[in-house]
Amino acid sequence: MSGALAGRTAVVTGGGRGIGRATAVALVRAGVTRVALIARSASQLEETAGEVRRAGGEPVILAADLSDIDGIAGLVQGLGDVDILINNAGTVAPLGPTVGLAPNDVLDAFRLNSVAPVVLAGRLAPGMIERGWGRVVNVSSGAAANAANAIGSGVYAATKSALEAHTVAFAAELAGTGVTVNAYRPGIVDTAMQEWVREQDPDAIGRELHGRFVDSHEAGRLITPE
C-alpha cells in the first residue's frame, strides 16, 4: 500500500479495547505495518492483536501499567523506530465532588492521563525528529473545555486540560521538524469507560453526572469506537 503511513510503526496505548483497539486496526488498514499495543490486560491485548493480524498488520503486545512512570523507558526501549504515537490510555476516575477526593487517586489520574503521554512522547520523539517524520496524537475530551460536562469529573477534565496544554506547547517546540503533535476530542463514544460510569452509585459520583451518562446512552447518542 502506498501513502504516508505505508510501512510505518505505531504505538497505541490503551490498545486492549475501545478507541485504542479500533485505532490500531484502522492504522493497519491505512498502511501501517507494525503496531505496538500497550494496556494492562494481556487478554484484551491478545484480542486486539488478532484483529491487527487479520487486517494484515504485525502486532507487538506490551502488557504494562502506564501509571508506573519509571517503567516507561524500558517498556519502549526495544521497539526500534516508532513513527506514530497514539496516547489513548486513560482513566475517568476518581469521580465525584472535589471535596472528599483521595489525594492518591488524584495523583494516579494525572500520572496516567497527563504524565505518561508526555513521557512517552519525550522518549519516542527524538527518533521521529532524526528521521524527519512523526505523528503524536493525544486523545482528549470535550470535558477539558466544557465546564458543565466537568461537574463531577473535575479531575478528569483537569488531566485532559493539562494534556492539551502540553500538546500545544510540544507542537510549537517541534515546528519545522516534520513531527506534528495534535489532540483529538472524539466525542461521546460507546466504551467500557462509559459503561463503568453508568454502573456507579449516583449518590457517590453525583446524580447530575450519572444522569448525563445514562441519558446519553438511552438516547442513542453514543458513537462507536470505529
Long-range CB pairs of 63-67, under 8 A, 24+ apart, other chains included: 63/38, 63/39, 64/38, 64/39, 64/40, 65/40, 66/13, 66/38, 66/111, 66/112, 66/116, 66/120, 67/108, 67/111, 67/112, 67/116
How far apart are alpha carbons 187 and 185 in whole angstroms? 6
pLDDT for position 150: 78
Strand 84-87 and strand 58-63: pairing? unpaired
pTM recorded for the entire structure: 0.95
State the number of CA atoms in the 13 A half-sphere of 203 facing the CB. 0
Task: For residue 147, name the pLDDT band (cuts at 50, 70, 90).
Answer: confident
Report the topology of domain 9-187.
Rossmann fold (3.40.50)
Q: Is 204 helix (H, G, I), strand (E, B) or coil?
A: helix
Mean pLDDT of 127-137: 98
What are the residue ranges spanned by the domains of the chain?
A: 9-187, 188-226
Mean pLDDT of 115-122: 98
Q: Is 20 helix (H, G, I), strand (E, B) or coil?
A: helix
* Ramachandran quadrant class, 79 (left: phi over 0; alpha: psi -120 to 50; beta: rest): alpha
Which residues carry out catalysis?
Answer: 140, 156, 160
